[in-house]
Structure 1
C-alpha cells in the first residue's frame, strides 16, 4: 500500500476520474481509498432503484443538517454516496454541465485553467454523447450520456408544450449553445444501467496493475510532516495504520468529507480546532465555509390521466415493469424519474437562467418511512413539477464537532437566508402555476394538491416553500478554489494553501456553484484536475 505516487481519498465523481486519468500512463501508481464498499448492487445499477438507496446506511452517509430557520426549523436529510462511485452511484443521473457563464465566473476567481475555453474541450473529451458530437458536445470519450428520447412518459410532451405556451422555447440540448428553455434531460445511463463515475472511469482503471482500490477504509487524517503531506491515517477492520506516499495526497471526498478531513488534520478555522484540542497546522477560516447548495420543492397535482403512479404502485404494476426491466433493460425502471425539465429566468433583467425545472410523471405525498418512495408512489394518478434555484446567495458551513472522525460534522445549510433567494423562489413558484394553467397540460389536471388552491398570497407561498423545500443534493464550495488566499482553500492548481503535496479535487473546490446538477462538473473537476496535477509534475 505504501509508495503510491498519488493517494486519492474518495472514489466519487471526481476521485474516479482522477484515478483513471492519473494512472493512464501505466507507470504512475495510484491508490484510491474509499470508506464505503462495492457498487455491485442491483439497486445501484437499476436507474430508478436510487429510491431504495436514499436511506440505506450501507451506501449512504445519511447526513442531517442543523434545524434551519429558513426551512421552517426543519432538519434536512442530506444523502451522500458512501460507495464506489460516491454520489454518482446514488443520484438521479441528470447530466447538466451548467451555463457557459458559470465558467466565466470560475475563470474570474481561479484563472484561465478553469475558464470556458479550457472547460469546453475537457467536457468534449470526457463525453460520449448519444445525441452526437458537434461543436458543443463530445463523441467517443469514456462517459456515455443517454439522449433520453425513447420510452418517455406520455405526459412529458404536454408538459413541454405547456411550458412553451408559458413563454419558454423548446431546447434540444441543455448542454448545447442555449440552456434557457424546456426539454428532456440527458442522463448518465448506458444500456439500461446507471453509468456512474465508477462504471465509466474507476472500474476500467482498476484493471491496471498500477491502480489499487481499498474499500471499507476510513481516512481519519492527513499526515503532515514539516509542512508536507506524506500520507494518511486510516482505520480498516478496526485496525489503525498510516499509509505513506512519496508523491501527493488528493482529497476527493466531496463537499462534506473533504473539509471535515482537513479540519481533523489541523487545517481549518484555528479557534474551532484549538477548542477541540486539535493542533493547528494551518489556520484557514475558509475550510468548511462558503457552503452553497440548491434548494427546491415540488408542486403536485392529481391528474385525469394515468401517470407512473398507476404503473409503479400496484403489485401487478411492479411485476410488469420489473419483468420489462429484467428481460429488456427498458421501461420506467431504466430511467430517472426526472424525464423532463428546463431553465428559466424569474425576471427578464436576469443575465442568465436562475431557476431549474423538473418534471415527474408521478407523485409521493404519502411517503413510506425510511424510503424515498419512488417505487411506492401515491395511490392515485399524480404528477409533480419541481424547481430549484440555480445560484442562491445564501451560504452555510461545515464544521467538525469533535476529534472523532466517525462523528458527523455540523452542517448549517442556512437556506433562504437572503431576501434575494426568497424573492427569486417566490417568483419561481408562481411560474410553476403559470405552466400548469396552460393547455394542453391544464386539461389533464384535476386539481393542485400541494400547496393547494388556498395558498395564494405571497406570505402563504413563502411560508409554504420554507416548510416544504429542501436540498436538491448539490452541496459545493466548502474548500473553494481561488487565487486569493484570503477567500480560498486551494489555489488554481488545487493545492491546499500552506501545505505541500496536498490537493483537494472535488465539488468542494468549485469556486462558485454551477447553475444546474453538479455531477457533470464534479467529474470535470477530476478531468481538468488531472491535467493541472500532471502539468505541475513535469
Structure 2
C-alpha cells in the first residue's frame, strides 16, 4: 500500500495551510483557533454528517445516540479474559462535534496532579500551571472569571440543575457518611461530593462543534461525510490526505502547505497512523502496509476508567424511569421543554457525585461516585430499556487503573474496524477498587436520609456480600467508562509517539492532537481535558508556545 502523493487532482485545486482530521472535542478547537489568522486557510474533515439531529442538541437525548449507527462508530472491543470474555462496547461520535455531540456532557478537568505527572514524564509545558490558561481560555463558566475559571470563551459550562429530592438525598447521605462536601470539582481541589458541572447552556448541549464552529470564518472549510483513508507523504514529510465521500467511490486528495493535524480520537488516530505506514513495522508489513517509519508504541498504552452500576428500586416516582414508562409524563416534559427549554429534557439525568480514595495514603482520589437518575433492565442493540418502575443507579468508577491495552489493525485500511483490547481487571488493585466502590455505595445508601427512598437493591442484590461474590459481580458487570486515552502517547523519550509539541516522531509536517496523546488518563471525564489539548495544540502549531 502506497502513502505517497498521487497524480490525481487535489481538492479545490491547491493546498490548504492546515488540514485537521476529525471534528471532535479537540479537532474543532484546533481548526477554529488556527482559522483565527484570516491569512491562513484551514480544512476540517469529519467522517460523519452535520450535527442536525435534534437528539444531539437535547441534553436528555444522548440516550438516543448511544447506539445510533448513523452518528456513532459503535466499536466493539476484543473479549476481555478477566471479565468472563465479554466485549467492551465503545461508542464514538461519527458526527460534527465527534464524541462531544453524543456524550453525557459532564465537564471535569481531572486532578491538578494528573497534569503534573505528565510534565514529570517528560512532557514539558504540560504541568497543571501551564495548561490552566488553556482550560480558562476555552471556558464561559457560570461561576465567572476567577483564578480557576474563564469567562467569555467558546465552551459554555453550566451548573447542574438541582434535580429534586433524590439528588439532594444522595448528597445528604454522602455527608452523613462522613464524606466531605465540594462545590467545584474544577476548582482548587477535587476531593469531596457535590453537584457536577456540564457543557450545556439554555437547555441545550454545548458540543465542541457548537462552541467553535457555529460562526466559522470563510477561511475555515468544514467538510463532512468524508473519511480520511490515509495520510500522504513525500519521503517522511506529510503533505496531505487521501479521502472519500460517504457513498462515493471517487478518490479525493487534499494537500497541506503547512501541517496535517490528526484529531481522530483514541481509536481512529492510531489506526490512521498505522494504515499510513507509521507504527510497528512488523505488524504493518503483516497487513501489507509499507512502513514509512517504525514506531512501536503507536496503538499501545490504551487506558480507560472502569465502572459498575449499583441499582436500586425507588419508593417514589422521582426518576427518569417514571418519564420513560408514561406517555403523558413524556408529553408534559416535551411540552415544557418546547415552551421553556426547562425540565427533565433539558437535563442529563446525572446530577451529583464526587471523588474519594480507596486508600487514605493516596495523594489524590482514585474513585468517582456518580448518581444516574434511572435504572436499566437490559441493554439492547438500540440502547437500553429502563425498569418498568421507579429506579436509580449509583456507580463506582475506578480512575487510576493499572490496565494497559492496545489498538491493533484488523485490516490494511480504515474500512476495517481495529481490534481494541483493554486488559481490564488483571491486578488486585483494579479488582479491589471496584469492590470498595460497591461497599462505599452501600454505606451511602444505608443512611436514613436516602434509605427511605430505597425499596430494594436490585443489582448486585443483598445476597452478594462476601469478597468472592463481589468479585464475581465485578467480573460479570464491570465495563469501560468510555474514557479511552493514550494510544499516541506524548513524552520526552524517543519511544513516545509524539513529542511535547505533539509532533509525530520520525516524520515532519504531522501532529496528533486529541485524547490519544495523554500519557496517563486524567481522573475524571475526558472531554474537558481533550478540549484543552486542542486549544494548546493550535498555539503549538502557530509557534505561540514551544511546549
Normalising by structure 2, we get a TM-score of 0.95
| Aligned: 1:526 with 2:534 | yes
Aligned with residue 234 of structure 1, among 243, 249, 270: 243
Tell me how far 1:110 sits from its aligned partner. Answer: 3.9
What does residue 312 of structure 1 align with?
324
- List per-residue Cα deviations over 1:162-181 (Å, max 9, x = no partner): 11122211111100111111
Matched positions, count: 531
- Work out the CA distance in 2 between the residues paired with 1:253 and 1:164: 41
What does residue 105 of structure 2 align with?
93
- Work out the CA distance in 1 between the residues paired with 2:329 and 2:481: 28
- Work out the CA distance in 2 between the residues paired with 1:59 and 1:153: 32
What does residue 120 of structure 2 align with?
108
Tell me how far 1:70 sits from its aligned partner. Answer: 2.2
Tell me how far 1:28 sits from its aligned partner. Answer: 1.3
- Work out the CA distance in 2 between the residues paired with 1:409 and 1:98: 28
What does residue 24 of structure 1 align with?
36
| Aligned: 1:330 with 2:342 | yes
Q: Secondary structure at the match of 1:114?
A: coil
What does residue 443 of structure 1 align with?
452
- List per-residue Cα deviations over 1:428-487 (Å, max 9, x = no partner): 22111111111200122111010001111111111101211111111100001011022x
- Work out the CA distance in 1 between the residues paired with 2:283 and 2:345: 46
- List per-residue Cα deviations over 1:327-362 (Å, max 9, x = no partner): 111111111121111111011111110011110222
- Alpha-carbon contact 1:151-1:331 (below 8 Å) kept: no
- Work out the CA distance in 1 between the residues paired with 2:474 and 2:350: 20
- Alpha-carbon contact 1:10-1:35 (below 8 Å) kept: yes
Tell me how far 1:420 sits from its aligned partner. Answer: 1.7
Which has the higher mean CA deviation after the structures are superposed, 61-70 or 90-99? 61-70
Give the direction of change, closer, same or farther, for the CA distance of 1:537–1:472 in structure 2 (3 Å limit): closer
- Work out the CA distance in 2 between the residues paired with 1:8 and 1:23: 11
Q: Secondary structure at the match of 1:232?
A: strand
- Work out the CA distance in 2 between the residues paired with 1:96 and 1:52: 23
- Work out the CA distance in 1 between the residues paired with 2:195 and 2:315: 23
- List per-residue Cα deviations over 1:41-91 (Å, max 9, x = no partner): 100000110111111111000100011112221111110000000000000
- Alpha-carbon contact 1:76-1:471 (below 8 Å) kept: yes
- Work out the CA distance in 2 between the residues paired with 1:537 and 1:193: 34
What does residue 76 of structure 1 align with?
88
Tell me how far 1:537 sits from its aligned partner. Answer: 9.7
Q: How does 1:291-440 map to 2 (within 5 A)?
A: 291-308=302-319, 309-367=321-379, 369-373=380-384, 377-440=386-449
- List per-residue Cα deviations over 1:358-398 (Å, max 9, x = no partner): 1022211244x32323xx52211111101211111101100
Tell me how far 1:151 sits from its aligned partner. Answer: 4.7
- Work out the CA distance in 2 between the residues paired with 1:316 and 1:366: 23
- Work out the CA distance in 2 between the residues paired with 1:239 and 1:399: 28
Tell me how far 1:524 sits from its aligned partner. Answer: 0.4
What does residue 503 of structure 1 align with?
511
| Aligned: 1:162 with 2:177 | no
Tell me how far 1:285 sits from its aligned partner. Answer: 1.4
Aligned with residue 155 of structure 2, among 116, 123, 143: 143
Q: Secondary structure at the match of 1:60?
A: coil
Normalising by structure 1, we get a TM-score of 0.97
Aligned with residue 222 of structure 1, among 212, 215, 231: 231
- List per-residue Cα deviations over 1:140-168 (Å, max 9, x = no partner): 211110112x3513201110011112221
Q: Secondary structure at the match of 1:321?
A: helix
Tell me how far 1:241 sits from its aligned partner. Answer: 2.3
- Alpha-carbon contact 2:123-2:499 (below 8 Å) kept: no
Structure 1 residues not aligned, in runs of 5+: none
Q: Secondary structure at the match of 1:384?
A: strand
- Work out the CA distance in 2 between the residues paired with 1:386 and 1:352: 19
What does residue 79 of structure 2 align with?
67
